[in-house]
Structure 1
Amino acid sequence: MGKRRKVTHNARPAQKSGGGGQKPQGAATATTAIKPKPQKQKQPQQQHDEPTIPFAPEDKILLVGDGDLSFAASLVEHHYCADVTATVLEKTLEELVEKYPHAPENIAKIEAEDSRVLYGVDATKMAPFVDRRGKGKEKDAVGVMDRIIFNFPHVGGKSTDVNRQVRYNQELLVEFFKHAMPSLAPGGSIIVTLFEGEPYTLWNIRDLARHTGLQVQRSFKFQASAYPGYHHARTLGVVKSKAGETGGGWKGEDRAARSYIFVRKDDEARPRPGSSKKRSRVRDDDESSDDD
């Protein structure tokens, strides 16, 4: 990934003024030239909408419930991530393609760069991704994933009752956090992205994480445009019209969303390249640490 270059404007145009001409005899001798007031040069405004990318190309990344795999493909193709494991709930390629017909194109991009796709991985039951160390009773399992990302978790249309939907999704998140932590490498982070507003704010994701031994390091606005080729995939699959046509209609990538970075309590997360010490320091659940 290339470094952004900061372009600044600080040159001012030279301003010259003067008056001349012969003075008629007996005329007043006022020769002071009227100089225009120099205008203040406007400083470039800080780009508050610059996207936050919560991982580095060299990170070992686990994507949970990656839907049509377009997010994983973007990480590999456009963010040059070298070690991505993308998982889906569907048990077979055929089942995945039935829900997301364009998934094979994304799989080809992922596997072409030596990353991988795993099928039949349930976020609430997944086995840990670990490095086994030692022998016998001294064997110790250490998590290997630097970043574990779950974008837009949702149980699907289990119920039309809001309270039940909230409870089902809270249960999903709690079990995900419990099963993700053993896979997390020392200093790693878990990143969850949700839409803003209700009913998602009713899930109280910060409290759910806290009760499972995690704390919020920070949160930031999720910008889908930072991931070329990415399209929000619904849990139920591609929505088709009565005529059987796909496309158009509701687009999740156009909705306001927010990502939350969680780290183990009392754990020091490794800073991302270019991040300041202030941002890399683990904070408690403090709204002031959020980026707008």
Structure 2
Amino acid sequence: MLLNPNWRILTIGDGDLTFSYSLKKHHQIKNLSATVLDDKKTLTTKYKDNGLSGLTNLGEKVFFELDITNKTTWPAELKNAFDLVIFQFPLVPAAKSCEDFTNAPSQNIVNRALLRDYLKACFNYFLDENGLRLSYITSKEVKPYLHWQIETDLTVDTNITHMGKQVFDYALFPDYQIRNVDRDKKVKDTEGFIYAYSDKPQDDDILKVFTPFKFINDKYCALCRVGPYSSDENGKRHLASKKHQKLSQYQREWFLYLDSIK
């Protein structure tokens, strides 16, 4: 993860705060603010082993009950205050009842909407207008995360650009505990990637860290991340495949959703 101790960094939705604690402790970030969706009591009850006391002992402030989808929960002191904002392995919990599932959009759309809201919040509120203006999403390249089209579809009709990705190295964050959402149980590390975004040109020393998304011309399929096709016939067969048809349907639903909220 590309970091600089002098960057002002904000973490979003750090469930048990162990990522933020590890970030501060092992990377000596001078100006770090951490946020969680839960209130303090819920966090300490839910996660017996958490990073709250460690962050407090290191002099960092934690902001509770910050909902990235609800601007009324965003503290004024966090406005235009950061160079980099980070969201680690975001995931909306699956609907817990048949009624919830019936009344909600698909889980694919719900998660895409969360990430789009996050990116817009970063560049419209949290990032310094005169600062570095970087945003990271760390996610996995397995289902369902792979189906959110993180590189291509989240920034439609914005001036935000996906710069590329970098492998997330868990070893650099020794105190970070990977958990299932809302569960006090560690899970096996699955290869993750940091997806980087900005709305301003970045220097080469930053750009070179990230691998650009390559599946962007007519010899590739950006939805399925395959190619180059060995022939036109091969490309046609792929477009007719069940996998491509499924991801195309997700994409159609996503653009219908975006149209519905304009």
Q: TM-score, normalised by structure 2?
A: 0.69
Q: Secondary structure at the match of 1:169?
A: helix
Q: Is the 8 A contact 2:12 2:86 kept in 1?
A: yes
1:55 and 2:3 correspond: yes
**What is the deviation of 1:189?**
0.4
Q: 197, 200, 204: which is aligned to 1:262? A: 197
Q: Hey, what does 2:165 align to over in structure 1?
A: 219
1:279 and 2:197 correspond: no
Q: Secondary structure at the match of 1:84?
A: strand
The 4+ residue runs of structure 1 with deviation greater than 4 A are 127-132, 282-288
Greater percentage in helix: 2
CA spacing shift, 1:283–1:102, aligned 2, 3 Å: closer
Q: Hey, what does 1:26 align to over in structure 2?
A: none
Q: Hey, what does 2:18 align to over in structure 1?
A: 70
The structure number with the bigger radius of gyration is 1
Q: 120, 123, 128: which is aligned to 1:178? A: 120
Q: Secondary structure at the match of 1:94?
A: helix
Q: Secondary structure at the match of 1:178?
A: helix
Q: Is the 8 A contact 2:67 2:74 kept in 1?
A: no
AA partner of residue 135 (structure 2): I
- Alpha-carbon distance between aligned partners in 1 of 2:215 and 2:174, rounded to the nearest angstrom: 29
**What is the deviation of 1:149?**
0.1
Q: 25, 32, 44: which is aligned to 1:97? A: 44
Q: Hey, what does 1:114 align to over in structure 2?
A: 59
Q: Hey, what does 1:236 align to over in structure 2?
A: 182
* 1:59-95 Cα distance to aligned partner (Å, 9 max, x none): 111000001111111111111111111100002x211
Q: Hey, what does 2:141 align to over in structure 1?
A: 196
**What is the deviation of 1:286?**
4.5
Greater percentage in strand: 1
- Alpha-carbon distance between aligned partners in 1 of 2:119 and 2:193, rounded to the nearest angstrom: 18
- Alpha-carbon distance between aligned partners in 2 of 1:90 and 1:179, rounded to the nearest angstrom: 19
Q: TM-score, normalised by structure 1?
A: 0.63
List gaps (5 residues or longer) in structure 1: 1-52, 133-141, 240-246
**What is the deviation of 1:218?**
2.0
**What is the deviation of 1:114?**
2.1
CA spacing shift, 1:159–1:178, aligned 2, 3 Å: farther
List gaps (5 residues or longer) in structure 2: 217-262
Q: Hey, what does 1:205 align to over in structure 2?
A: 150
Alignment of 1:128-139 (within 5 A): none
Q: Secondary structure at the match of 1:205?
A: coil
Q: Secondary structure at the match of 1:78?
A: helix
Q: Hey, what does 1:27 align to over in structure 2?
A: none
AA partner of residue 82 (structure 1): K
- Alpha-carbon distance between aligned partners in 2 of 1:73 and 1:98, rounded to the nearest angstrom: 18
AA partner of residue 126 (structure 2): S
Q: Is the 8 A contact 1:78 1:227 kept in 2?
A: yes
* 1:142-172 Cα distance to aligned partner (Å, 9 max, x none): 72211100001111122698x8221110111
Tell me how large the CA RMSD over aligned residues is.
2.8
- Alpha-carbon distance between aligned partners in 2 of 1:229 and 1:131, rounded to the nearest angstrom: 28
